[in-house]
Structure 1
Amino acid sequence: MICRLFLTSLLAGAAVVTALAEDLPLPQARVILAPGSEYSETARVWQGIPGIERAPKGRLWSTWYSGDEGEGAIGNYALVATSGDDGKHWSKPFVIEGPKGTKIGDPIPWLDPKGRLWVFYNQLTEKTATRPTLRGTCAIRCDDPDKATPTWSAPFLVAKDGILFGKPIIRSSGGWLAPFFLMGNQAGRPETCTLLSLNEGESWEWHGGTSIPEPLRNFSEATLAQRKDGSIWMVIRTSKGLYESTSKDEGKTWSEAIAMPQFEGPSTRACMMKLASGAFLLIYHDAKKLKSGAYPRTRLTAWLSDDEGRTWPLRLLVDERSSVSYPDAIQAPDGRIYITYDHGRYNAGEKEVLVAIVSEEDLRAGKFVSQGSAQRLVVNRTLGYGNHSDKRTEAEVAAKLPPKEKLHLYLLIGQSNMAGRGVLDTEKRLSRQRVLKFSPNNKWTHGIEPLHHDKPAAVGAGLGMSFAREMAEAYPEATIGLIPCAVGGTPLERWEKGGDLYAQALERARLAMKDGTIKGILWHQGEADSGHEGKSKSYADRLAKMIVDLRADLGSGELPFVAGKLGEFLALESKEKQPSYWPLVNELIASIPARVPKTAVVESTDLKHKGDQVHFDTPSLRTFGQRYASAMKLLQK
């Protein structure tokens, strides 16, 4: 498995790097330096498996992978972002994407001894009628990683038939040694192995390894460090936690892998490295076993060893939350340690790549005490819906839907204060069991906030969840099904019959009604009309007609309709010093029950904004939702 390096210079302003590598057995990926909207945060439905590296003068580089399908799907691609201010702000990522039928994954950045930055990644191209499945580790490289926009090489092959899962180390006798998981054509070689380069990365050869028993084997992601006596220590992922193996001949032969009893835990990657002080760092999970016998990916913890990994008496809790995993780390010359990991890889409102900055002082103290330490710095957060977890949940919910008459449906329409812009309070994100939402795929799923997806970068807590909880309490035999259709910044005319949002809401409601019974409509809108005197004065007439039209099209002439008043914190004039007529709009909203039967209006008195004088804060939204529920219950009597 020998590679030759092919470099290409970039044309000024070029958005895509392309080059031919004559002996590349895998179809060549492309580097997209200016990716379009199809790769944006709103298009990506999951993300994770991050890596981190630091250039000689301090620029940080982060890698991870993602896509518009679930993890591991054909079409996944790698992303690379950079920070020039120590992780406080990060660039828009560029993309490494394979040709059709290819998955790019597991990127890992590494700064070699010559100051060059490598980004290794796994490539798999699915088989066709004329060729078998092709897989291997490839890389791109730059020689100037302290630049915000360095010149990158064309993708080139590192090794066939496997995945380079961790950063290489420099052996004391010379040569670069990297952990490698051999797949495909093993030719009798152990799968948990190493690659060696003796010519500064010009070529890489299989060098030796150990084997994890088949029942315990789960990608065998490994990490390496060399001890003072010259032996090389390997820490390996298994289905039962971490195992270890040692080589006394610099990687040629390895001992039988054995369990590390202190680190029985979840099947996931760990990060182990030797620090400048000689202490060893291990980042893994300090998780408690569940009743099922499994370990969750929770309580990401950094351990410190002063005897080269034989004991681990010192620890620092990096992130106590669930769904935290896949750490990678590097140490800066000043001793600070940058730890990256993913959080909520598939979870709405999470799906983020994070960085923590710690020091040995923190590790020895067991808490963050050093100047310059930091937690949960956000590298990137993605917002799309539709990963494999979302689809599995939809299928599970569909299989357990209640009878149609017991699935009570509520249509949520209006603009941003109905969609919800509150900060998500974690303890209240999950619904009770009897609350569902109609997903962007027009499928039922668990009622987890954010409910709406109108503007994924902005959505958060809304009034719908507290409304649903109250209704579930009032009707213990029913399941509450929310149909989120609100869109921020939209005027009433788009919600009137003939408008695009009226049509979209009606279509989604009719689809949902195949499974349930429509019980009411929730409305909050008016801010977008308040800046225009004529639209404000005609608001009540237009809203009343919309209610009548929508009820008729839904086949329910007296369907309960609850509207909420606009926030009393709204400004009386715009930034352009134009008057706002929101007090008039509020008066006209209040007149609706006198105009249209089976309608109600809830007050916004004493509710607060979140600091922008536009959107209700989370506690106010919870209260607002309860007020909507109280009004709805009265209408339903």
Structure 2
Amino acid sequence: MPEFHFAARLALATMLLLLVPAVSHAEPDVHPVLANRTWQGIPGLECTPNGRVFVSWFTGGPKEPSPENTVLLCYSDDGGQTFNTPRVMAEPENGTRCFDPTVWIDPNGRLWYIFNRGNRETAQHDVWARICDEPDAEVPAFGAEFRIDLDCPYAFRMNKPTVLSTGEWLLPVTHASEPISTWFAGAKQLQGVGVSTDEGRTWSLHGAVEAPNWALECMITELTDGRLWLLTRAGGGYLWESHSTDKGRTWTPGRASRIASPGSRFFIRRLRSGNLLLVNHYRFKGRSHLTAQLSTDDGATWNEGLLLDERSGVSYPDGVEDKDGLIRITYDRDRSGAGEILLATFREEDVVAGRDVSGSVVLRQVISDLRSVKSGAK
């Protein structure tokens, strides 16, 4: 009898196991936005003190702008050699597109994921953000998205905030003083800054710098004489500029600078050495010849620099210098064709020499491209 009970119980257990669905250890389904990308671009980059490299960009829908636009984020834990599969950070809602993301580590070590939401049907255009308190955690966790209140009917930003010597945070903002029922405000767009004196909890909008039609995507640099220098992408062949002597509260009238531009985003930041780094199109034909240049006199003059990518269709640089002096710049190429999100790595001495003298130069590294969508949604 004992043998019979044992055999019966074994048979019953076997039947029950056959009825239990198998547990799958396969990768989770890829988000439809990632799997169905037909274009991508407009990247941003940040690096943590421990060396993790974050890269943001956006995609979704047939093009940009489009109501389906969606913002993404990926990161690297091997110094930027390889990156994980991107994740969706914010999705469109009821005709409201998500676009122009950037990543920025504040003085408290928190990682900000800043992006825009825009809806041409409701004329609502705002700046939004999510914050990760521990960006070097094994799995970085971001809080819920929240709106950065700039108290105006139309606002968006493209670039990172700047922390002044006073400790104030300045967010470069393109804005309009009236509701806008299109994706862009065009000739009604003004350039200014959101100023925060409480570490990003509240912001106040200052400045209404006028520039030619389609001026947008401004950036802020604090000069050694205490003035602030606002540079703005504009048409007409040059970046436009304005200055502030009261930490961003008021600005001089906009005017064309001496920095040539094909009318595309640029990147400027002060390096640890005190020199200024500019990544822009230089001796260009359209959006070509993306070049890193150096100024030792606060932007009065620039050297010939280091050519990062001479191909056409390269644009929208963003980057950072890490604690060891390694500079990483991300940019895009051929958004609806190759759809490449690229990385250039170098040091200041390479920009001075115009060639690889540090042994650290790596150019045209692909972080993500549309060819990879069919083979793993990279």
Q: Do both proteins adopt the same fold according to a TM-score greater than 0.5, normalized to the shorter chain?
A: yes
Query: Residue 260 of structure 2 contacts residue 282 of structure 2 at CA under 8 Å; is this kept in 1?
Result: no
Instruction: Quote the Cα distance in structure 2 between the aligned partners of 1:68 and 1:136.
Output: 20
Alignment of 1:589-604 (within 5 A): none
User: Structure 1 CA distance, aligned partners of 2:333 and 2:74?
Assistant: 17
In structure 1, the residue matched to 2:191 is: 192
What displacement does 1:331 show? 0.7
- 1:369: Cα distance to partner? 2.2
Question: Contact 1:287/1:297 (CA < 8 Å) preserved in 2?
Answer: no
The alpha-carbon distance between structure 1 residues 35 and 244, as it changes in their structure 2 partners (threshold 3 A), is farther
Q: Which residue of 1 aligns with 2:295?
A: 305
1:563-597 residue CA offsets vs partner (Å, 9 max, x unmatched): xxxxxxxxxxxxxxxxxxxxxxxxxxxxxxxxxxx
Any conservation in 1 of the 2:176–2:189 contact (CA below 8 Å)?
A: no
- Indicate whether 1:235 and 2:234 are aligned: no
Shift of 1:125: 2.8
CA distance in structure 2 between the aligned counterparts of 1:202 and 1:281, rounded to whole angstroms: 30
- Residue 90 (structure 1) aligned with residue 83 (structure 2): yes
Three-state SS of the structure 2 residue aligned to 1:194 is strand
2:271 to 237, 262, 275: 275
Q: In 1, are the aligned partners of 2:42 and 2:331 still within 8 Å (CA)?
A: yes
Conserved? CA contact 1:82–1:148, under 8 Å: no
| 3-state SS of paired residue (1:166) | coil
TM-score after normalising by structure 1:
0.51
How far apart are 1:133 and its partner, in Å?
2.3
Q: Structure 1: where are the runs of 5+ without partners?
A: 1-33, 289-294, 385-454, 459-637
Task: Identify the residue that residue 59 of structure 1 maps to in structure 2.
Answer: 52
Equivalent residue, structure 1, for 2:172: 179
Match 1:170 to one of 163, 173, 177:
163
SS of alignment partner, residue 32 of structure 2: helix
Determine if contact 2:57/2:100 at 8 Å carries over to the other structure. yes
Give CA deviations for 1:379-398 in whole Å, capped at 9, x if unaligned: 111249xxxxxxxxxxxxxx
Partner of 1:36: 30
Q: Deviations over 1:404-437 (max 9, x none)?
A: xxxxxxxxxxxxxxxxxxxxxxxxxxxxxxxxxx
- Whichever residue aligns with residue 353 of structure 2, its letter is A
- Superimposed CA distance per residue, residues 613-635 of structure 1 (whole angstroms, 9 cap, x where no aligned partner): xxxxxxxxxxxxxxxxxxxxxxx
Contact 2:59 2:71 in 1 (8 A): yes
Flag as ranges the 4+ runs of structure 1 deviating above 2 A.
Answer: 34-37, 183-187, 455-458
Larger gyration radius, structure 1 or structure 2: 1
The answer to whether the 8 A contact 2:110-2:135 is kept is: yes
Q: How big is the shift at 1:102?
A: 1.7
Normalised by the length of structure 2, the TM-score is 0.85
Match of 2:327 among 311, 314, 337: 337
Q: Is the 8 A contact 1:303 1:314 kept in 2?
A: yes
Question: SS of the counterpart of 2:233?
Answer: strand
Contact 1:60/1:84 (<8 A) preserved: yes
Q: Is the 8 A contact 2:123 2:179 kept in 1?
A: no
1:221-620 aligned at under 5 Å gives the runs 221-240=217-236, 241-261=238-258, 263-288=259-284, 295-347=285-337, 350-383=338-371, 456-457=374-375
Question: Does the 8 A contact of 1:225 with 1:232 survive in 2?
Answer: yes
Cα deviation, 1:103-156, whole Å, max 9, x if unaligned, reads 0000011100000000110101342xxxx3211000011001112421111000
- Alignment match, 1:208: 207
Per-residue Cα deviation, 1:427-479 (whole angstroms, up to 9, x for no partner): xxxxxxxxxxxxxxxxxxxxxxxxxxxx9449xxxxxxxxxxxxxxxxxxxxx
> Which residue number corresponds to residue 12 of structure 2?
none
Amino acid at match of 2:33: Y
CA distance in 1, matches of 2:210, 2:139: 41
Letter of the 2:127 partner, please give it.
T
| Mapped pair 1:120 → 2:114 | yes
1:121 alignment partner AA: F
Please list the CA deviations of residues 170-189 of structure 1 after superposition, one character each: whole Å capped at 9, or x if unmatched. 111121011100036289x9
Deviations 1:287-318 (CA, angstroms, capped at 9, x unpaired): 44xxxxxx510010111000010111241101
Say whether the 8 Å CA contact 1:49–1:326 is kept in structure 2: yes
Distance 2:92 2:331 in 1: 24
CA RMSD of aligned residues (A): 2.0
Distance 1:45 1:184, change over 3 A: farther
Q: One-letter code of the match for 2:311?
A: R
1:154 to 109, 126, 144: 144
| Maintained 8 Å contact 1:44/1:383 | no
Structure 1 residue 219, shift from structure 2 partner = 4.3
Q: Is 2:213–2:235's contact at 8 Å kept on the other side of the alignment?
A: yes
| Conserved? CA contact 1:110–1:118, under 8 Å | yes
In structure 2, runs of 5+ residues without a counterpart are: 1-27, 181-187
Q: Sort the Cα spacing of 1:457 and 1:183 in 2 relative to 1 into closer, same or farther, 3 A.
A: farther
Give the match's secondary structure for 1:221.
Answer: strand
Name the aligned partner's letter for residue 67 of structure 2. Answer: I
Correspondence for 2:214: 218
Structure 1 pair 372–264 and aligned structure 2 pair: CA distance change class (3 A): closer
Cα distance in structure 2, aligned partners of 1:149 and 1:57: 14
The offset of 1:205, in angstroms, is 1.1
Match of 1:490 in 2: none
CA apart distance, 1:98? 2.3
Does the Cα contact within 8 Å between 1:50 and 1:65 map onto a contact in 2? yes
Call closer, same or farther: CA 1:84–1:57 in 2, change over 3 Å.
same
Aligned pair partner of 2:126 in 136, 151, 157: 136
Distance 1:148 1:89 in 2: 16
**Aligned counterparts of 1:100 and 1:83: Cα–Cα separation in 2:** 33
Identity %: 35
Instruction: Flag the structure with more relative contact order, 1 or 2, with Cα contacts below 8 A and sequence separation at least 6.
Output: 2
User: In proportion to residue count, which structure has more helix?
Assistant: 1
Code of the residue aligned with 1:346 in structure 2: it is: S
Contact 2:37 2:61 in 1 (8 A): yes
The answer on whether the counterparts of 2:287 and 2:314 sit within 8 Å (CA) in structure 1 is yes
Return the offset for 1:283: 0.8
**What one-letter code is carried by the residue in structure 1 that aligns with 2:95?**
G
Contact 1:341 1:353 in 2 (8 A): yes
Partners of 1:177 and 1:91 in 2: how far apart? 31
SS at match of 2:268: strand
Match in the other structure for 2:7: none
